[in-house]
Amino acid sequence: MNTDEFVRRRPVYLLLDTSASMFGAPIQAVQQGVTLIHRELINNPHAIETVYLSVITFDTTAKQIVPLTSVETFTPPTLKAEGNTALGAAITLLNDALDRELQQNTEGRKGDYRPLIFMLTDGAPTDVWKDAVAKLKARTINKIGSLVALGCGPNVNTETLKAITTDVIKMSDVSPDNLQQFFKWVSSSIQKTSQRIDSKAADDGNLDALPLPTVMKWDKDSNAS
């Protein structure tokens, strides 16, 4: 049977802080985390057919080091830690990528599913970020589904993160094990949404947040649990 050629995708963007403060064990843990996500997704046939991954890193500048790629062709990138924390530039880059890479809804055809965005940072932005965030929030096409921000370590500015999203997670003790648990949680969340596509549940890209590992806690104004 001839079916429609366009296949709706579930885009997932990972925004990773690769500033100098992440040097050493943290950046290695993040590197392993991205590999872990990929390995779990490629073991899940639902995810293989729907999930597309992109990696944006930010240090002194922001770079989309992996454009939106299918799970099968994705290769975990090598991450290096150096420089500042250009979070604003990363959000700007994300906005551009959403404009460029996603298929929007048209008359008679649904576009890509709403993207999931996971952001990890251990510091405060060293560049201008408010305009980029306002632009991200004001999107009318290719709107984002969920944006989860993980603030790790003692130097993170969670007020900044809360200005970006209501889904802020805090991890005080940044050990490789704890980061690993975060990435495991991200991977499970992605798999859960990819499986939900045909289950007639809400599919606006809202994560029905899985319970967080104990090393992390939600940092929300209303319901800190």
Partner 1 sequence: MTPTVYLLVDPQGWPDPIDPEVVSAILQARLTTLEIRVREVNDRWFEALPTDECVVFLLLTRPTAEGWQTALNGWLDPRHRLYVLYIDGISPNEIREYASLTAAQPIARAPYRIAQHNATGLENAMVWAATVLEKAITIPLEPPPIKVTPARWRHLASNTQDVYYYPENFTTSLAGADGYQLVAASHRGKTHAHQGTFREDATAIATTAYWNIIAVADGAGTAPLARVGSNLAVTRAVAAMVAAMPDPPATEDISRAIWAGLRAAYQAIRAFSTEHDVSLGDLSTTLQLLIHWPQQTGCLLGVAHVGDGIVTAETPDGQYYLLTDPDTDPDESSRTLFLTSGPLRQWLERAKVYQFDEPLDIVALMTDGLSGDLEPYADLLHTNLFEALRDRVLCYPLPQREQALLALISYDRRGSFDDRTVTVLSRV
Residue with Cβ nearer partner 1 (116 or 168): 116
Residue with Cβ nearer partner 1 (8 or 217): 8
* Backbone dihedral region for residue 182 (phi beyond 0: left; psi -120 to 50: alpha; all else: beta): alpha
Residue with Cβ nearer partner 1 (158 or 188): 188
Residue with Cβ nearer partner 1 (200 or 211): 200
Q: How far is the CB of 124 from partner 1 (least distance, A)?
A: 18
Q: How far is the CB of 113 from partner 1 (least distance, A)?
A: 9
Q: How far is the CB of 174 from partner 1 (least distance, A)?
A: 16
Residue with Cβ nearer partner 1 (19 or 92): 19
| Residue given tokens 């930010």 in the structure block | 58
C-alpha span between 5 and 44 (Å, rounded): 23
Q: How far is the CB of 139 from partner 1 (least distance, A)?
A: 13
Question: What is the binding site for partner 1 (CB under 8 A)?
Answer: 1-4, 6-9, 20, 23, 38-39, 42-46, 48-50, 71-72, 78, 80-82, 105, 107-110, 195, 197-204
Residue with Cβ nearer partner 1 (153 or 213): 153
Q: How far is the CB of 93 from partner 1 (least distance, A)?
A: 22
Q: How far is the CB of 175 from partner 1 (least distance, A)?
A: 16
